[in-house]
């Protein structure tokens, strides 16, 4: 199996060359440097984190370099195969990663899951269940997922599920309000079936956090949250129980990464 070594912000792991263009972009700091900076800052040694929408594993592998354990969720069959093969190239990390070939949804059971283009391209979602080529995948409610894997503590949750946030985030509200793990969520308002209604649902969940920031470290006041989401087609937010610990430094680290 042809592979390449990825070095990112001092963390080193191996990946298959099948997605070589993507991994070259990662190495050349041309893919989501802010994401790796956020993981570097908030996924600390000893942390347990959930990667909901793990895709082929860039954040799983990067985070597992320092975390105690990662629970990786990926329903896309093509992406899941690539994820597991990338993990196999990293025996020291694979033992710290539990993978679930399925999705988190509002109910447990079988659900339809489709892609806007083709599986494996990072644009598959519960919202595309009616697209040609959709497949049936296993779904677990968030509480059932926690129970299946006996997760009693979680420090960080990353969610990037291509618009499925309106389905999944409301089911997590009680847990988030009680535990307040760092939540790093990529929102896709442009794909919400009803943008205004979807934004209200998302804002209602995120208000359980005392502090909400953009991925660039800019604080969003609660009163402006709905307006901000309505005025943007996508949004990447970091939700915290306290102020951003290194406020103002993230942008500098991204530039220098």
* Average of per-residue pLDDT values in the chain: 90
Q: pLDDT tens digits for 168-221?
A: 999 999 999 999 999 999 999 988 889 999 999 999 999 999 999 999 899 999
What stretches of 119-164 show up as alpha helix (H) in DSSP? 142-148
pTM, rounded to two decimals? 0.92
Rounded CA gap, 133 and 141, in Å?
24
* Burial degree of 24 (CB within 10 A; 0-12, 13-18, 19+): middle
Q: What is the mean pLDDT of residues 10-25?
A: 89
230 pLDDT more than 70: yes
Which range is least confidently modeled, 7-16, 62-71, 100-109, 242-251?
242-251
- Dist CA 68 CA 48 (whole Å): 6
Domains in the chain, ordered, with CATH? Answer: 10-97+154-256 (3.40.50.150)
Contact 159, 52 (CB under 8 A): yes
Per-residue pLDDT band for 248 (boundaries 50, 70, 90) equals very low
Angle at 244 between CA 238 and CA 248, to 5 degrees: 105
20-65, pLDDT tens digit by residue?
A: 888 999 988 898 899 999 999 999 999 999 999 999 999 999 999 9
Distance of alpha carbon 98 from alpha carbon 60, whole angstroms = 10
């Amino acid at each position: 199996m042809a592979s390449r070594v990825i070095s990112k912000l001092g963390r080193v792991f191996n990946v298959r060359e099948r997605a070589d263009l993507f991994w070259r972009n990662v190495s050349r700091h041309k893919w989501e440097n802010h994401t790796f900076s956020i993981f570097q800052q908030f996924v600390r040694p000893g942390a347990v984190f959930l990667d909901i929408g793990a895709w082929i594993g860039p954040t799983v592998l990067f985070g597992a370099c320092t975390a105690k354990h990662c629970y990786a969720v990926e329903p896309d069959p093509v992406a899941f195969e690539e994820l597991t093969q990338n993990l196999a190239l990293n025996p020291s990390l694979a033992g710290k990663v539990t993978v679930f070939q399925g999705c988190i949804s509002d109910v447990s059971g079988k659900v339809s899951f489709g892609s806007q283009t083709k599986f494996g391209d990072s644009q598959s979602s519960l919202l595309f269940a009616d697209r040609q080529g959709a497949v049936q995948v296993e779904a677990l409610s968030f509480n059932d997922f926690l129970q299946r894997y006996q997760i009693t503590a979680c420090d960080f949750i990353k969610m990037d599920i291509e618009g499925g946030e309106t389905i999944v985030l409301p089911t997590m509200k009680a847990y988030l309000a009680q535990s307040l793990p760092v939540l790093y969520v990529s929102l896709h308002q442009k794909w919400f079936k009803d943008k205004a209604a979807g934004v209200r649902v998302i804002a209602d969940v995120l208000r359980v956090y005392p502090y909400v920031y953009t991925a660039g470290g800019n604080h969003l006041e609660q009163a402006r949250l709905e307006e901000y989401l309505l005025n943007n087609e996508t949004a990447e937010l970091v939700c915290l129980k306290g102020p951003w610990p290194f406020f103002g430094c993230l942008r500098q680290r991204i530039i220098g990464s």
